[in-house]
Amino acid sequence: MLISMPSPTDAQADLIAYLDFHVEAGADAVLDEQPHDRFGEADTPAPTLRAPRRPAAAPRPAAPSHGLVPPPGSPPPPAPARTFGRAASAQPDEAASDARARAREAKSLDELEKILADFDACPLRFTAKNLVFADGNPEARVMFLGEAPGADEDRIGKPFMGRSGQLLDKMMAAVGLDRTSAYIGNIVPWRPPGNRNPTPQEVAVCRPFVERQIELVDPEVIVCLGAPATQTLTGTKDGILRTRGRLFPYKLPTGEAKLLATLHPAFLLRQPVQKRLAWRDFRALRALLDGKA
Ligand code: URA
């Protein structure tokens, strides 16, 4: 039976074009009934943010460049950039060393999560709805690490909840694992707006936290899903089709874990033919856990 759909009215077509525009711009999920201007909120630091531990530097008197006084009638100076907590003012190196110091303070995963929730030197936290810290069992022998949360994970506050997560669950199930026997996290715990890739600076600021998270979980095997996780934790520049299936040593205070690189489920959703390679890696993971590799 052929069902003919009525063509949209002009008003409906305008509305569809308006929604398409927002989806293209990265506003692709409904988070709340009421709109929030998160950028505006960020101009006023939220009261829950911890005060910076370093004493604030004394303000310097504003000096016109080259020591010249602007002639009368010259255009006004540009408006200051919007501020996002310390994220706007902190230099990337300073933010990363602050992240290292804060991450070291955490004596447990709960403490680490609280420290991250208060950490305001990564700009991503100001555009994300939720901190996406982890899911699964912190006592697990195996820890999976992805890149960064997407829209579903941001909405729910847990990693790998969307289509990639469903595929990851199936891949784990194929080797006898699930979220009670595995721990799951990401290199970056906040969703980059519009699902763009996190920048190298964002990764560098978040890295001390994921490194501490790994130390606290203390897994025997770390499975890096995709190139960003593999490159961040091993330092390799090689692409994932080169590194997948390889085992890298990963130093932990308690000894050495094995880091296994494999393909990201999102990549497998785009290129299902590559699932056979991931299957090989997951069988290697099973053999590692069974002490047969
Ligand atoms: N992709 C990731 O890398 N992490 C998630 O949590 C979801 C999708």
pLDDT of residue 163: 98
What gap in Å lies between CA 41 and CA 130, rounded to an integer?
15
**Nearest alpha carbon to residue 216 among 224, 225, 208:** 208
What's the whole-model pTM score?
A: 0.75
The pLDDT value given to residue 3: 62
Q: Are strands 135-136 and 182-186 parallel, antiparallel or unpaired?
A: antiparallel
Residue 233 tokens read as 């934790």
146 lines ligand 1 (CB under 6 A): yes
How many Cβ atoms are within 10 Å of 98's Cβ, its own excluded? 20
CA of 186 to the centre of ligand 1 (A): 7
Q: Is 150 in the pocket of ligand 1 (CB under 6 A)?
A: yes
Cβ–Cβ under 8 Å, residues 159 and 149:
yes
The atom number, within ligand 1, closest to the CA of 265 reads 1
159 lines ligand 1 (CB under 6 A): yes
Q: What percent of the chain has pLDDT over 70?
A: 73
Q: Which two tokens stand for residue 143?
A: 């820890």
Report the pLDDT value the prediction gives residue 244, as an integer from 0 to 100. Answer: 98
10 Å CB burial of residue 92 (0-12, 13-18, 19+) is: middle
Confidence of residue 13 (pLDDT cuts 50, 70, 90): confident
Instruction: Write down the residue that tokens 């692709």 correspond to.
Output: 28
Contacts of 18 (CB under 8 A, 6+ apart): none
> Is beta strand 182-186 parallel, antiparallel or unpaired with respect to 247-252?
unpaired
Residue from 127, 133, 118 nearest 82 by CA:
127
**Closest to 209 in 3D by CA, of 104, 139, 107:** 104
Q: Is 260 exposed, middle or buried (0-12, 13-18, 19+ CB in 10 A)?
A: buried
Mean pLDDT in the chain? Answer: 83
Indicate if ligand 1 lies below 6 Å from the C-beta of 148.
yes
**From ligand 1's centre to the CA of 53, what distance in Å?**
32
pLDDT digits (tens, 9 = 90+) for 166-223: 999 999 999 999 999 999 999 999 999 999 999 999 999 999 999 999 999 999 999 9
Return the ligand 1 atom nearest residue 152 CA. Answer: 7
Task: Give the SS3 label for residue 242.
Answer: helix
Q: Is 266 helix (H, G, I), strand (E, B) or coil?
A: helix
Cβ of 136 below 6 Å from ligand 1: no
Q: pLDDT tens digit string along 70-124?
A: 445 555 544 433 445 666 566 778 899 999 999 999 999 999 999 999 999 999 9
Which residue out of 153, 154, 171 has the highest number of ligand 1 atoms within 8 Å of its CB and is therefore the one to mutate? 153
CA-to-CA distance for 186 and 205, rounded, in angstroms?
13
Copy the structure tokens of residue 194: 């519009």
Mutate to test the pocket of ligand 1, among 186, 202, 233 (most ligand atoms within 8 A of CB): 186
Q: Is residue 44 very low, low, confident or very high in pLDDT (cuts 50, 70, 90)?
A: very low
Distance from C-alpha of 134 to C-alpha of 128, rounded to nearest angstrom: 16
Residue 213 — φ and ψ, nearest 5°? Answer: -60, -40
Which ligand 1 atom sits closest to the C-alpha of 132? 6
For the Cβ of 149 lying below 6 angstroms from any atom of ligand 1, the answer is yes
